[in-house]
Each structure stands twice: as structure tokens, then as C-alpha cells.
Amino acid sequence: MPPRTLLLRPQCVQIVPFRAPCPATAAFVFRSYSLAPPKVPKGPNQDVLPHVSEEAAATAKITGETPPDLEQGTPISEVIKRDPQAMKHAPSVLKTDPTATPGSKREYSTLMGAGDRAEGLGRATDIPPVQVDAVEINPRPTLPEGAKYPLPDLPLPATSIMRKRYSPVVEQVTNLIMRDGKKATAHSVMTEVLAILRTKSAPVANARTPIIPTAPPLSSLPSDPVAYLQTAIDSVAPLLRIKSVKGSGGFRESVPSPMFLQQRRRKAVMWIIEAADKKKARMSLAERLAEEIVAVVEGRSSAWDKRQQVHKTAVASRANVKVKIL
């Protein structure tokens, strides 16, 4: 029989199953796996440098010096004392007394009495003590059973309505600058506007733009941002509006009509918002509104031109007003 046929004979082919490992090999692999330490993944905060106290302890062990106590920690004064460069830039408290630690009692501590402060700082000993005003402590009211707060006094005052806890001007401006029903965002913008107005300097009056007579002095407006806002809105608010009414011959006539206070303020706020939107885009909405409010009080805003145009048109169209005689 030729060798080629011998190699292909079925009796010479032996199939060994792959899933049946040797028992001894399996035991060795299991033993090696059980003794191997688990692999813990390292994060970005692992494998960092040792603490300064640990480095000082290792250095002291090599040089034969007294190592610091790792359980208690190393005082900052000892660390600074070893480094001349650090001692050069150390605070004056550590320079004068290197053994002092932050938080220790020093000569200028506020816990000392008047005599101690006078002795340590060289002041006179006849410092009068501070007289504290007597405060009358009201007794704690008796709470009803199961109540957390005491019951209010009846009848309720008119200012206790939660919907009226803000100024009407602030609430109206907040509703007008609101977009897509986001009232919380509008409140944040309004709060920032009032904060910016508080940091502004006192406005300079302009003779060509009349400020409302009931406004407080201009020098006191930065201390009261709500009054600042109300002064700007009430001053630039128009007194009349122009209505287009169908007249004789099929033509429409312009008829002036008075407005209520809320309508006048709404028109003024819309003018201020339109003027603020035309300012530089690098500023936020609150900054643009605050700058425009200051410009209104100082007579530099374009809202004054719109108010003047409305009043001029109303005066020119006053003949179209029809008065009913009863």
C-alpha cells in the first residue's frame, strides 16, 4: 500500500475533544487564578505622589534625624523652618514666631479683653465698654396643636396677598420681558436689573425731558432701584394713544384717546425694551435694560422721541375728537 493511502486511513486519525482538558492542568490553572491578586483599575487620582509628611519621614530615616509623627501631622511652622525660601515668603506671623500655628491666640486676638488689648497694642486703658441696647424679647406664642407656625391675626391686611407681594411696576415689567412662559428666567433678569441700578451713580437731570413731579430726588434713586425703575417708566409713559377710527367718506381718522395708568406703563416698557434690543449684542439683557433705564432718566433714550411724536400727533388730531352732549 502506498504511503499516500496510509496517511489517509481512518484508523490513523484520532479526534481529541477540545472541551475536555487534562485534570491536572485544570487544577493548576484554577490554583494559579485563585492565588493571583485581583486587578483593580487605576483612576486619575491613584498612583500619586506621597504626602509631604511621608516624604519628610522617609528623608529623616535616611539622614538619621527625628521623623515627624505621621499620626498627628507636621506643623506648618516646622515645614517652613526647614526651607529658607519658604521662610522668606512666609506670613509675618510665622516670621516673628515660627512656633505659632494658624488659629493660635495672638496679641491682637478679638477674644482678649479691653485691658489686654490696651496692654498689647499700647492703647489707653480707659476704653469705655460698649453699651448694648436692651432688646425686648417677646414671649413665644402658643401654637395650636399640630401647627408649625402661629395663626395670623384677623382680619388679614391688604398687603398679605401673595400675588401682590411685589411692586406693581416690577411685576408688570417682569411679565413684559418674559418669553415662552419662562417666568423664573424673567424674575432672574429683573433681579439683575435692579442690582445693576443699585450700583449706578446718581443720574444727571436733563431740562429737555420732564421727569414726573412725584419722583424722589435723583440723588436718592440708586439707593432705591424700584423707585429708579418706576421714575423712568412713569416719566416716559405717554398720556394719550392714537386710535384709527372710520370717518366720513370712507377715510380713517386719527383720534387721540386717554389711557389708564397700566396702559401707559405698558407702552413705556415696550419702548424701553425695543430701545434696549438695539444696543450692542455683547451685553446681556439685564445690562441693556439697566443702561436704557438710566438713559431714560437722563433724557438720552430714543423713547422720548416716540413719546414726543405721539403727543404731537394727538395735538394735531384733537379736532377729530367727538364729544357727546347729554
Q: What is the mean pLDDT of residues 189-199?
A: 94
Separation CA 2–CA 13 (nearest Å): 17
Most confident of the ranges 3-7, 265-269, 318-322: 265-269
Q: What is the mean pLDDT of residues 93-114?
A: 51
Domain of residue 265 covers 168-238+260-304
Q: Residue 208 is placed in which grid cell?
A: 429737555
Q: Looking at the domain assignment, is residue 126 inside a domain? A: no
Among candidates 84, 105, 87, which has minimal Cα distance to 95? 87
Please tell me the pTM assigned to this model: 0.51
Q: Looking at the domain assignment, is residue 33 inside a domain? A: no
* Residues 252-273: tens digit of each pLDDT: 888 899 999 999 999 999 999 9
For 152: left if phi > 0, alpha if psi spans -120 to 50, otherwise beta; the answer is beta
Number of domains, the chain: 1
CATH code for position 288: 1.10.455.10
Q: What are the φ/ψ torsions at residue 246 (nearest 5 degrees)? A: -70, 125
Separation CA 279–CA 275 (nearest Å): 7
Q: Looking at the domain assignment, is residue 182 inside a domain? A: yes
Q: Looking at the domain assignment, is residue 71 inside a domain? A: no
Q: Looking at the domain assignment, is residue 121 inside a domain? A: no
* Residues 218-259: tens digit of each pLDDT: 999 999 999 999 999 999 999 999 998 887 777 888 889 999
pLDDT for position 34: 46
Residue pair 252/267 in contact by the 8 Å Cβ criterion: no
Q: What is the mean pLDDT of residues 118-138?
A: 48
Separation CA 212–CA 231 (nearest Å): 7
Q: Looking at the domain assignment, is residue 177 inside a domain? A: yes
Q: Does the pLDDT at position 11 exceed 70?
A: no
Q: Looking at the domain assignment, is residue 297 inside a domain? A: yes
Q: Looking at the domain assignment, is residue 243 inside a domain? A: no
Cβ burial, residue 286 (10 Å; 0-12/13-18/19+): buried
Q: Does the pLDDT at position 118 exceed 60?
A: no
